[in-house]
Structure formats: structure tokens, C-alpha cells
Amino acid sequence: MKNVFLVLSLLIFPLISLRAGDEDDVLRVERELALCYQNSDAACIEQGVMEDYTLTNSKGKITTRADDLTEARKHDPKYEIFENNEMKVRVHDGAAVVTGITHTKGISGGQSFDAEFRFTDTFVKDHGRWRLWAGQAAKITP
């Protein structure tokens, strides 16, 4: 019986460790992307977001990576804050889903904004690195 437990332990614990590593990696990429958007860093967004990425935004409009890159290059919106919190991640094979809350504050079209959104982001592992593939955001009303 001890041998069976030992064999199972040797098989299962490395898998748990790999999954935890992937979860940490996905959350790291999610945090890095928030900084990319906060800093209007188009090159960083381009690296972290899949070419066929789509976002269903809080107004129900579908936007693309090209839209995000255009905004970053124009610095509009200009974020003072772009932070994710209360994040939870689930990983399955080469895909991951992150849920959480995004707080944004800044100026867009000359108008100030300060809002929170509940988000769901889907990541895929692309050539060994996690990249954002799809997202959805819903505004949290006070």
C-alpha cells in the first residue's frame, strides 16, 4: 500500500506543481498587460494580445487588438490607473480563464472617468507563452 501511495504521489504532485506554475504565469501576464494599457504601450500590447483578440466591452461593443493598438498610439484613453484585483484563474491544458475586477481612472475624449468593471479574460498558450485571446467587461454600478 505504501508503494502505491508513493507512486501516485510521484505522478500527481508534479502535475499540481505545473498547474500552479501556469496559474502564476497567467496572473503575471494579466498584471503585465494592465501596465501595458496604463502606459499606452502599443508594442507591449501587441506582444501580449493575440492577433485575433476580441473584447466585448461594457457597452456591448466588440473591439479588436487593432482598436486597442490605435487607442494606445493616440494615448486616448490616457490611464492614471489600470489595476486588476480579486483575480481568480483556472487553467486547462493550453487555455486559462481569469476573472476579477478592473479599476480604471483617467481621461478619454477630454472627459475624466473613474470606474470599476468585472472582467473575464481568456488566455491561450501560444508558442510557449500566455497571450490574451478574448475578454468581456461589465461595469460595476455603485
Predicted confidence (pLDDT) per residue in 67-101, tens digit: 999 999 999 999 999 999 999 999 999 999 999 99
Q: Is the pLDDT of residue 39 over 90?
A: yes
pTM over 0.95: no
Mean pLDDT of 3-10: 49
Calpha distance 46→68 (Å, rounded): 9
Provide the number of structural domains found in the chain: 1
What the block records as the C-alpha cell of 51 is: 492577433
- Domain CATH code at residue 125: 3.10.450.50
pLDDT tens across 118-138, in order? 999 999 999 999 999 999 999
Q: Which domain holds residue 81?
A: 2-139
Predicted pLDDT at 20: 67
